[in-house]
Every structure is written in C-alpha cells, then in structure tokens.
Chain A
Amino acid sequence: MNQPLPLLKVSDLTKSFGGVMAVLNVSFDLKEGELLGIIGPNGSGKTTLVNLITGFVKPISGRVEYREKNITGWAPYKIVSLGIARTFQMVRPFYQLPAFKNMIIPLYSPRVKKLTGGKYGDRDAVALDLLEEVGFERDAHVAYKVAGSLPQGYLKRLELAKAMALRPDLIILDELFSGLSLAEVASIVPIIEKLRFQGITIIMIEHRLKELFRIADRVFVLNYGEKIADGPGEEVMENESVKKAYLGSETE
C-alpha cells in the first residue's frame, strides 16, 4: 500500500514584512483527517502562516499545495471554493445584526451553492441549525439576539459556525480559545471533536497548550518564523529549543 497523499503540503514558505522574516522556510505535510496544532510565542508568525495558506497574504517564495494542486498566491475566495475555511483571531461580527443574520454571508458563498446542487435553500433556517450545533441554545433564542449584545464566548462560536457553514474539508482555527474562560473552552472542545469525527481536517493555532495537547495529533512550534519542533504535544515541549523559545535562554 502506498502512503496516502497529504491533503495539504506546504514547502519552504517564506514571507517578510519590511525586512522582518515573518515566516521563514516553513514546510509541513497534513494528512486527511489529522488535527495539527501550531504553537509559538507572540509574533512568531503563526497568523501570517495562516494568511499565507488562505491567500490573504502572498508569499515571497515557497509552495502551498492542496490535494496536489498548487494554490500558492491564489485569491482567498478561490481557496475557499476548494474547501479551506478559516476563522479570525479578532472576531468582528456585524454588531447591529442578529447573530443568525451574520451567517448569511458565508451561506451566500458560491461553494455552498455548488454543494447544495445549485439551490441555496432557506438560509435563515440553515443558519439557525448551524448555530444550534455550536451551542446557541434554540430555546433561549440566543441566535436572534443582536451580535453586539453577545458575550465573547458566543462570538467565538459564531466565528466557528461561519467557517462550518462553508462545509470545508480543511478548517483553520486561529486562536479560537483566546479570551475564553475554562468553562467556555470546555464547551467548545466537543464541537471540534465532532468536526474531526466527520472527517474534517483541522489546523489549530493556540496559546492554550493544555487543551490543545489533549485533542491534537501533532503539534509544531514556530519561533521567529521558523519551525523549530514537530511531533506529539508533550514530546515537543520537552525539546530544548522550544523551552528556550518560551522561557528565554538562561545565559543572556
């Protein structure tokens, strides 16, 4: 039997912002159905890496391949149409609109139209179903509340539901847990596990290492834009250079 082909293959990806190397020669493979965690100190290039994969930023050099197709430098909307969805670290919903109306824009996407056989259907109903899935209690009518009145935990779930609305094969979650309480994180973890169960490949960028290590198959560490370690969570944290990156070296 041959080794299954990677879903996503990133090779030697490099990007600099005005002389600062934000991402430097980063390469990794992602198998279908895998949950990969990306960690690293602040400013280590994690979000830039996501922006490079999803087309929001164009790399200086290197390649991004998805299902053996070179998607380097493609426009974001084309990359989404292949089935790669992402969330943003900073949630910025439409604060004046009810939560479920925020779901209309992803549901308006050509990808959704294609997957539903040319018909969009009742977007409001689909939006309410998806929001219930991520924990907007239907009985309490949370989905009808104006987004501006919802706490951060719900806004993060809304962000997740917006990505799920695109029915992605690969979903990239950029610091989904940041700013959430332990209880809120604990309530989102099962949603992510359910996505995995459905066979969706997931990349998670996280600072909450404990929660991440519990669900991730593999973790890699970025420091100053470079990949310094790759492997199962606890193993990676034993790595000397990772310790140095997080805690600083002893002799400085």
Chain B
Amino acid sequence: MKKRKERIDRGIKARSEDIFALSSYREMLYLLAPRAIPVVGLLGVAPFLNPYWREVFISTAVYALLATSWDLLISAGLISLGQSLFYGIGSYIAGILNYYYGWSPLFTIPVATVMGGLLCTLFLLPVLRLRGIYFAMVTLVLPLMFSRLVEATRILGGTEGLPGLTPFPNQLTALYVIDFALLAVLFGFRRLMASDYGLVIRGINDNDRSVMSAGLNIYLYKTQILFIGASVGSFAGAFGTHMDMFAGMPGFALDYAIMPVAAAVVGGMGTFAGPMIGAFILVPLSEILRALGALRIVFYGLFLVIFIVALPEGIFHYLQRKYHQLERWVELV
C-alpha cells in the first residue's frame, strides 16, 4: 500500500476557523491538547512539589502574570518598563487596607486589583499619547519616583514598610488562587485578542492612522488596554504582598519591571502563553543557579543570551510552528 505524508492541521484549520465542523475525535484532540497543557501543568504539578519549590512556583506565577500583562500592553503598542509600578501600587493598596483597616485578603485583593488598575491608568493617562520608547521612559521613572517619595516623606511606614499583614491560610490555597488567576488571564487575553476588539487593538499597534480614519478613538482603546494590563499587574502585587505579609518599597523594585520583559522575549511576544512559558523557565532557573553563589548572574545571563540567539522568535512561536507542521501517514487513493 502506498502512503504519503500529510500535515495534520490543514483540514482542521480550514474547518475550525469560523464554524466548528470537526470530523473526528482525533481532530478535536489536536485542537484541545495544546490548551490542556497549561491547565494540567499549572493545576496538576503543585501537589507534588515540596514547600520550597511551591514557594518558587508561586513567585514564578506572579512573574508570569506580570509578563502576560506586559504582553497585553505591547499588543496595543504600549512598551512598558513599569510593571513594577502596577505591582507596587497593587501591593501598597492591599497593604494599606489590611494594615490600617484590617480588611481580609478576600476583599483587599479584589479592591486593590480594580483600584490599582484605575490609579495606574490615571498616572499614565497624560503620557498615553507618547509612543514607543518615550512612553517606556515614563513608566520606568514613575515607580522609582514613588519609592523615593515613600522614603523621603516616611508615609506608609517609610523604609520599614507595612509589616505583619494577613497571610493566606496555607500555601496550597495561595498556590491555587494564583494558578486560577493565571489561567483566567491566559485564556481570557487570548480570547480577547482573537475577537474583533482584539483586531482593533492590533490595528492600533500596526497602523494607528488607519484605525483613526475608521472613526475609532484610539486613545479610548489604549486606555482600556492600559486599565486591563494595570489591573492584572496590581492583582499580582496585592497577591504578592499578602504572600510576603509585607508591603513596602521593594514592591517598586526593578526586578518586577525587567523580568516580565525578559520572560516575554524568551517565550515569544504577543501570544500570552509565550511570556508565561518564559517566566516558568527563567524564574526557576534563577533559583537552581542559586547554588553557584556569586557566579549565578553570569550563568543566568549566559542562559538568557543562548535562548535569545537560538530562538529569537521565542519559544512559543517555535513550538507552535512545529506543532502546526506535524504530519501523519495517509493512504494514497
């Protein structure tokens, strides 16, 4: 019997683009498998980790949230070097509500998510018209300003911060909270960008004049995206602050600004899954390298360079391409 190779995705793509008219369980499996990986990976792995690695897992997930939020902003052409602004604002709002008013994390986190998103959007509203690197510079400067403001005026505990905040009941609860948040953000963002609304956002990034001439107010859309991105960042901050039982100046640290960018570049920009993968490689890697002591940063940097040189498109884009190119044997007729 003569056989030839055929790409698996061709027929499925043609039939699943708009209406779902898949012809077999195998085709459904082809579409479902990649979507099942993050769900199983995030929810299934946790119980098998020891407390130390659970801790690493949680902080990785926090970075992953910041990275997906960064990725959403970049889809609208907003280059952010200020994920630490979102993180810091979210952490201080949750900290204040818990420390001064005694609110439980059940309320501080949602309130900090929305309020943080609103505040950060307000701070950045005046510079929303700036493009590219100019917008990036402002986002970089704001968190630095805020941390110096806290230091100089000694408000909100000054350099000491707000200690002794309410922790999560146990580690596993915290882990599942951040897991579900991450999954919601991942699938929600991917869905959003696949919709007609997402098309408009991509249009603003690609050719804003053509979107303006279509009668759409691009600043309105940019504001909405900024709000969503900042809210996710603030959620990460509020969550992290209850995790650490402390809100303070480290919330504005540069780590929270740089790591998301690195994760997105390594993982593949504009895909949301890519930055997540990037975070889940880079953060644990930095923990493993801890054993090397002072040489840690050298090796870490080396790994980063290797990733970027070997896969400049990003890990996710590479995997996606390979998955689409999968072939199967079919009989010649």
Contact = CB atoms under 8 A, between A and B. Distances in A.
Interface of A: 54, 56, 75-77, 80-81, 85-86, 88, 92-94, 97, 101, 104-106, 108-112, 123-124, 162-163, 165-166
A108 B212 contact: no
A104 B209 contact: no
Contacts of A85: 213, 215
15 contacts: A56-B209, A76-B212, A76-B215, A77-B217, A81-B215, A85-B215, A105-B211, A106-B215, A108-B196, A108-B216, A109-B214, A110-B216, A123-B196, A162-B210, A166-B215
B118 interface: no
Interface of B: 18, 196-197, 199-200, 202-203, 206-207, 209-218
A241 to B, nearest CB: 33
Given A77-B212, A85-B213, 15 more contacts: A56-B209, A75-B217, A76-B213, A80-B213, A92-B207, A94-B206, A104-B196, A104-B199, A105-B199, A105-B203, A106-B214, A109-B216, A124-B18, A162-B210, A162-B214
Nearest to B199: A104
A166 B197 CA distance: 17
B223 to A, nearest CB: 14
Contacts of A75: 217
Contacts of B211: 105
Given A101-B199, A123-B196, A77 B216 contact: yes
A75 to B, nearest CB: 7
For A77, A97, A162, which residue has the most chain B Cβ atoms within 10 angstroms?
Answer: A77
A110 B215 CA distance: 7
A86 B217 contact: no
Contact of B215 (A77, A93, A97, A101): A77
A104 B206 CA distance: 15
4 smallest CB-CB distances across A and B, nearest first, come from: A80-B215, A109-B215, A106-B214, A76-B212
A162 B212 CA distance: 12
Nearest to A159: B210
Given A104-B199, A105-B200, A108-B200, A86 B207 contact: no
A252 to B, nearest CB: 38
A104 B194 CA distance: 12
A110 B214 CA distance: 9
A202 to B, nearest CB: 16
A165 B213 CA distance: 11
A179 B218 CA distance: 30
A92 B200 CA distance: 15
A92 B203 CA distance: 11
For A93, A109, A123, A165, which residue has the most chain B Cβ atoms within 10 angstroms?
Answer: A109
Contact of A88 (B200, B203, B209): B209
Contacts of B212: 56, 76-77
A29 to B, nearest CB: 24
Nearest to B18: A124
